[in-house]
Chains A and B, each alone.
Chain A
Amino acid sequence: MAEHDIPYLEERKLIKRWRGPLPMLANLALTLSIFAVTWWIFQDPRGVMRFYTPYVGYNYCRWWLIILIWMAYIFDFWPFKKDWVRHAHPVQKGVVLSLVSVGIMILIIHGFFEGVLGNTAFAYFNPAQLQKLPGITEFYAVEYAAQACMMFAVIASWISPAWIVALEGRPWENQKQPVKGLSIWIGTFCLSLVIYFMTMHNHMGILYYPWQYFTAITPPYWENFAHTVSANFHVAWIMCCTVVVWFMEGIWERYPFCLIKTPWLRRFAMFFGIIAISVSLCFFFWYMQELVWGDAIRGHRRDAAPDWRWLHVGETAIFFLVPALFLQFYGGNWPNKFSTQVNVLLRTLIVIAGGIAVYCLYYKYAHFLLGTQKGFSHPQQFPMIPMIWLINIWLINWWFMDGWPGWRRELRSAEEVRAGERAIEERDTWHPAMAPGLVVGIVVGVVVYFAIVAALPWFSAHFTLVQ
């Protein structure tokens, strides 16, 4: 591997500028300040531009996330020269790359989806086309178009990083940029499009009266399983996939799939393993709501509505992504001193605690701080928007700005990168002596699961989060 072939995010080594928690606190203060200002300007219903309608703002922040992933993970900052990426000041890079990402986002949303697809293929991507439907107002035409566009982003935000993390960029991993980036981008875009047709298109078909039986399969095939005709069922498991991809890449260090030493088997196992773990989480988050709030009731409009319960599964997952990324970026993926398995378990416990804390803080204070709806289940309540908005700012700070101001960047040579990969390779091996522990651990895991299941109704009866 030549130095110019090493992705920038892999070749860099971020070093803390100061000892102790100061770098973390400095970056937290900076990013939260940026969050507060930009939230007020762009999203807050009491602020300047008020994009939180909610779908317009959701669409923007969701697509912005994808563009950031594309720029850093898939295109490795192409077409910017490696030299500039390596040597420009972090603030300069942060500003330039952020502006470019916003430009691409606008081009994709308003140019491609709204302009091209909305005028030549699917009317629901274009507000003006939607308004030809009698009775529909401009507001809802814009909302529906934004929702349709956003739903594509939901899928792409799982598939795009999964291709790199799980499939390791195969089969284009040895190509140079931009061939590599364009190939993966087109591949993931096409796959996302196919999944979109099978999961979201039916939802959009039901938006019309009468249902568009002849252009979308309605009622959709998931109706009896999910107890709703809403595509929020798919949002649930796909959001979990998005979150688990980043768990896998960050706090889980691709464990346990990295134990598989046959490359093709490891890649497929990881790709489908992410889906399996996500579906498990998805079902559990659903079950948690049943245990806390009671059975879902079809046709309900609030916290018992199946469609909202599925949406809340995805929202819950996102609450856990926030502490996971924080721990990975600013916490140095702490702890690191134990074996990988123990480190992964401890990080997971930290993230669970952090996620619960963020969840509680959000529902207790977001109404006052962010101008969002009070309570859990209002149809306009989308905690994913502020969570993803914050994540976007962290990604910009960590990927584009190299962790400035708390961190400084050094570059690793190709030999250092290879040595690091070899060390991980040797570390992550299966040992038969782990088997007895594995069996005991599985039993403990099942017991823990049922203990949580048994405890949740009690917590629900004795603890009220939102009065």
Chain B
Amino acid sequence: MNRREFVKGAALGVGMGAIGAMGVYSYSPMRRAFLKDVKRGTADIGVCKAVRITNISETSWFDNGVFMQDVTGAGGLLVDQYTFNWAPFGNGKGVGKGSYAEGIKQIKPLLPNKLEEAWAIAQEKSVHADNAGGFSCLVEIEDMDGNVTKYLFDTGWNYVWMDTCYKREGIDTMLANNEIKAMIQTHEHMDHFWGLPAVTRYNPNIHIYTPNSFYPEGKQYIKDCGHVGKVTEVPKGLHKIQDGVALYGFDCPIIFRVFGEISMYCNVKDVGLVSITGCCHQGIILFADTAYKELAYEKDQFYGLYGGLHISPFDDWDPKYDDLVIGLKKWDLQKVGCNHCTGLITAQKFVDAGYPVVKGSARFRSKTTNYLGNGDVIKFPS
């Protein structure tokens, strides 16, 4: 045997064998031999009796065209939100030229009690301050003994708008009376978080849950808003907060330089799992799939879903969103209350596809009855 020629052939053969195996095996049904089967989750978070959600505000911004004009001007969806020069952190230098430090300096002495004055400064120094709205909802959990625990989900964006909405739904009084056990800050986005002084104004001691991935500006803002209560940073994974209710931290990169989001699972006795989300940047399929892989829940039924489902928040579209509309069918949802960043086209596609979308009243600047709009209430079970 010619050793030199053998080595040449062997060198050639290794490549051919490896590439050949890649082509023949890697996408064939045989490949499943090396893939783990998905196991049903068994974590027990207990049960609750019912869940009631009041939509305080789902309108994060009022004009999508104006909002996207800012996004375009600043350089796109990946630009750091604190540099947009959006209210309340405006410095008067124009779109895309802001910073947290310069913005907060001008309003910090007024927080949290002189919100109107602070917002007036923000209006002057920021871009399109009047376009800002916010996302916030009240989640009421009835336990098996009939006691109700209230959680505030997010704090919106525009101080004045949020304050008005809180007063409309009586949240100001609930906060002042310590009726709300905790605030769940789902993620760091401006439309969910920057309205925080509208909460700390009434209760600076409120217990706040945040993802453990806030950027330094976000952590500082909580302090700058006059908050003096407990802050719990929720890491990736399951975090039970009471019987039948758990938060779940998702590590996910998000536009405007934000990372991580927490959502809520509620296990409703004899009904199934109800999932509540701020923006659901992790995606609703991952949201559902995570519950399936980790939790044991009543009747093995993924029953209900509420919140912004973050599919086409800017009325954009992509074929992968159709994958979602098609793929959601297998979860057999019984009740969906969607709004906010779900997207008007998506909500319409859900309705067209026959999903059980709970219609809203389209009041207080909500745009469609396909959304569970501002001031609307959804209950699980009905």
Where the two chains meet, the residues of A that have a C-beta atom closer than 8 Å to any C-beta of B are 45-47, 49-50, 52-54, 56, 135-140, 142-143, 203, 206-209, 211, 219, 227-232, 255-256, 276-277, 279-281, 283-284, 286-287, 290-291, 294-295, 297-302, 304-308, 339-342, 344-345, 348, 371-381, 431, 433-450, 453-454, 457
A368, chain B: closest CB distance, angstroms: 11
B323 near A374 with CB under 8 A, answer no
Decide yes or no: A436 and B6 within 8 Å by CB, A45-B76, A294-B38, A378-B253 being known contacts: yes
B345 at the interface (CB under 8 A from A): yes
B145 at the interface (CB under 8 A from A): no
A140 near B76 with CB under 8 A, answer no
Decide yes or no: A137 and B314 within 8 Å by CB, A302-B286, A375-B251, A445-B20 being known contacts: yes
Sample (7) of A-B pairs whose CB atoms are under 8 Å apart: A206-B319, A227-B323, A304-B286, A375-B252, A431-B2, A445-B18, A447-B17
B26 near A437 with CB under 8 A, answer no
B36 near A294 with CB under 8 A, answer yes
User: A232: which B residues are within 8 A, CB to CB?
Assistant: 320
A344 near B345 with CB under 8 A, answer no
User: B253: which A residues are within 8 A, CB to CB?
Assistant: 373-378, 381
Residue of B nearest to A435 (CB): B9
Decide yes or no: A280 and B14 within 8 Å by CB, A52-B76, A230-B318 being known contacts: no
A444 near B14 with CB under 8 A, answer yes
Query: Other than the known A280-B20, A445-B16, what 13 A-B pairs have Cβ atoms closer than 8 Å?
Result: A137-B315, A209-B349, A227-B323, A255-B12, A287-B25, A291-B34, A300-B286, A345-B14, A348-B15, A371-B78, A434-B8, A437-B6, A440-B9
A446 near B18 with CB under 8 A, answer yes
Binding stretch for chain A, among B63-71, B103-111, B152-160, B167-175: B63-71
Decide yes or no: A431 and B5 within 8 Å by CB, A229-B319, A301-B282, A375-B253 being known contacts: yes
Where the two chains meet, the residues of B that have a C-beta atom closer than 8 Å to any C-beta of A are 1-2, 4-23, 25-27, 31, 34-36, 38, 64-65, 68-69, 71-72, 74-80, 83, 96, 251-255, 257, 259, 281-286, 289, 310, 314-320, 322-328, 344-345, 348-349
7 closest A-B pairs by CB? A441-B13, A445-B17, A299-B327, A50-B75, A437-B9, A301-B283, A280-B23
B14 near A436 with CB under 8 A, answer no
C-alpha spacing A298/B285, complex, angstroms? 8
B259 near A445 with CB under 8 A, answer no
A432, chain B: closest CB distance, angstroms: 8
C-alpha spacing A344/B257, complex, angstroms? 42
B319 near A299 with CB under 8 A, answer no
C-alpha spacing A230/B325, complex, angstroms? 13
User: A136: which B residues are within 8 A, CB to CB?
Assistant: 315-316
C-alpha spacing A342/B253, complex, angstroms? 43
User: A47: which B residues are within 8 A, CB to CB?
Assistant: 75
Contact of A449 among B10, B17, B254 (CB under 8 A): B17
B26, B34, B286: residue with the most chain A Cβ atoms closer than 10 Å: B26
A281, A302, A344, A377: residue with the most chain B Cβ atoms closer than 10 Å: A302
A229, chain B: closest CB distance, angstroms: 4
B315 near A380 with CB under 8 A, answer no
B282 near A438 with CB under 8 A, answer no
Decide yes or no: A434 and B5 within 8 Å by CB, A229-B319, A294-B36 being known contacts: yes
B319 near A139 with CB under 8 A, answer no
C-alpha spacing A375/B1, complex, angstroms? 52
A445 near B14 with CB under 8 A, answer yes
A209 near B289 with CB under 8 A, answer no
C-alpha spacing A137/B72, complex, angstroms? 10
B92, chain A: closest CB distance, angstroms: 20
B277, chain A: closest CB distance, angstroms: 12
A300 near B79 with CB under 8 A, answer no
A213, chain B: closest CB distance, angstroms: 13
Decide yes or no: A299 and B13 within 8 Å by CB, A229-B323, A277-B19, A294-B38 being known contacts: no
Contact of B34 among A50, A203, A301, A453 (CB under 8 A): A453
Contact of A434 among B9, B22, B34, B76 (CB under 8 A): B9
A307 near B9 with CB under 8 A, answer no
C-alpha spacing A437/B36, complex, angstroms? 36
A302 near B16 with CB under 8 A, answer no
A280 near B19 with CB under 8 A, answer yes
B11 near A138 with CB under 8 A, answer no
C-alpha spacing A30/B314, complex, angstroms? 41
A286 near B26 with CB under 8 A, answer yes
Decide yes or no: A433 and B6 within 8 Å by CB, A45-B76, A283-B22 being known contacts: yes
Contact of B259 among A45, A52, A375 (CB under 8 A): A375
Decide yes or no: A53 and B75 within 8 Å by CB, A300-B286, A449-B18 being known contacts: yes
Decide yes or no: A345 and B15 within 8 Å by CB, A230-B318, A375-B252 being known contacts: yes
User: B75: which A residues are within 8 A, CB to CB?
Assistant: 45, 47, 49-50, 52-53
A255, chain B: closest CB distance, angstroms: 8
User: A230: which B residues are within 8 A, CB to CB?
Assistant: 318-320, 323
A209 near B78 with CB under 8 A, answer no
A223, chain B: closest CB distance, angstroms: 9
B251, B282, B323: residue with the most chain A Cβ atoms closer than 10 Å: B323
Residue of B nearest to A279 (CB): B23
B57, chain A: closest CB distance, angstroms: 22
B34 near A440 with CB under 8 A, answer no
Contact of A295 among B35, B64, B83, B255 (CB under 8 A): B35
A66, chain B: closest CB distance, angstroms: 23
C-alpha spacing A440/B322, complex, angstroms? 48
C-alpha spacing A68/B315, complex, angstroms? 36
User: B320: which A residues are within 8 A, CB to CB?
Assistant: 228-230, 232, 301, 305, 307-308
User: B315: which A residues are within 8 A, CB to CB?
Assistant: 135-137, 140
Contact of B18 among A341, A440, A448 (CB under 8 A): A448
Residue of A nearest to B13 (CB): A441
C-alpha spacing A340/B5, complex, angstroms? 11
A410, chain B: closest CB distance, angstroms: 32
Residue of B nearest to A44 (CB): B75
Decide yes or no: A256 and B12 within 8 Å by CB, A135-B315, A287-B31 being known contacts: yes
A335, chain B: closest CB distance, angstroms: 12
User: B328: which A residues are within 8 A, CB to CB?
Assistant: 299
